[in-house]
Amino acid sequence: EMVVVGSVNADLVVRVDRRPAPGETVIGSDLVTHPGGKGANQAVAAARLGARVALLGRIGSDGHGEFLHKALAGDGVGLGHLVETPGPSGVALITVGADGDNSIIVSPGVNARLSEDDVAAAAGLLASARVVSLQLESPLAAVLAAARTAARVVFNLSPPAVVPDELLALCDPLVVNEHEAAFLLGGRGAPGSQARALLALGPRSVVLTLGAGGAVVAEPGGVIEVPSPRVEAVDTTGAGDAFTGALAWRLAGGDDLATATAFAVRVGAASVRRPGAQSSYPYPEDLEAL
Ligand code: ADP
């Protein structure tokens, strides 16, 4: 019913009291390795909720690739178009400082090799899906090719980059957080007017996420604010991916955008109550309290 096209990374996390200056060495905590990557995160978020979801992407022929494949299979993500590729898997090197702040280096590895040919090889799958969900940890040419093939595109402009108007025009919706909105618009503003300005860039609809503030939906018919449930935030890593995966799934199920967004804010909120990205993603029963 839905397909995610995107990145699969191993998140390598070390806690440090302080980060090393150039040329310096510091001792950190034991290394913890988590499955991550925006594409995989979205697919896992949807699968946990009950979606039938396939992931189109590339994993490396290394130990991380094996680990990532196993994790995705364990969550029931369809992996028939996850291409194992000679070379290193994508990796995010994450240091968590004493105050809980993250510094992240992403090494794309074989995610960078996702190609228009990969998309063409999955054309049948993409065309039969109700929704195809896209982000930008994969090459733009592949993302654009997938968007052209899809019945409906959910596109998260993350990490932010300049994209062609053609891609924006295919988005229904374009999903951005406040940083990504500021990148596109060249500045900040009130959420409602930001959402309206984003809609004027050409997408069919817009969802602007606002962290604890929930989200704003903009469609040609008007703008709606969707508050998030109040939760105690422990770790917001991957909240946007959980939100977008849930949103895409509800849209594939036939919800209108406001209804799907009202569901997705609950999934995003649930995901910040526990540490990690995928490790924090909820099952349906975890949403009942929200
Ligand atoms: P990103 O993770 O891309 O920066 P946001 O921070 O906007 O995106 O979070 C995405 C969604 O996750 C929000 O729309 C909201 O539903 C939920 N969320 C994030 N942070 C919080 C929070 N502190 N309290 C409640 N919900 C949150």
Per the prediction, the chain carries an average pLDDT of: 96
Catalytic center residues? 241
pLDDT-above-90 percentage for the chain? 93
Average pLDDT over residues 91-96: 94
Residue 268 Cβ < 6 Å to ligand 1: yes
209 has pLDDT over 90: yes
Distance 60 CA to ligand 1 centre (A): 30
Residue 207 Cβ < 6 Å to ligand 1: no
pLDDT (tens digit, 9 = 90+) per residue, 8-49? 999 999 999 999 999 999 999 999 999 999 999 999 999 999
Q: Nearest residue CA, atom 6 of ligand 1?
A: 211
Give SS3 for 106.
Answer: strand
Q: State the closest ligand 1 atom to the C-alpha of 237, by its place in the atom list counted from 1.
A: 2
Domain count, the chain: 1
Distance 237 CA to ligand 1 centre (A): 9
Q: Nearest residue CA, atom 22 of ligand 1?
A: 212
Average pLDDT over residues 197-220: 98
Domain with 61, as residue range(s), is: 2-20+29-287
Burial profile 13-36: b = 16 or more Cβ within 10 angstroms, e = fewer: beeeeeeeeeeeeeeeeeeeebbb
Residue 209 Cβ < 6 Å to ligand 1: yes
pLDDT (tens digit, 9 = 90+) per residue, 109-143? 999 999 999 999 999 999 999 999 999 999 999 99
Distance 20 CA to ligand 1 centre (A): 30
163 has pLDDT over 90: yes
* Predicted pLDDT at 235: 86
User: At 62, which CATH number?
Assistant: 3.40.1190.20
Q: What is the ipTM of this complex?
A: 0.98
Strands 171-176 and 206-209: parallel
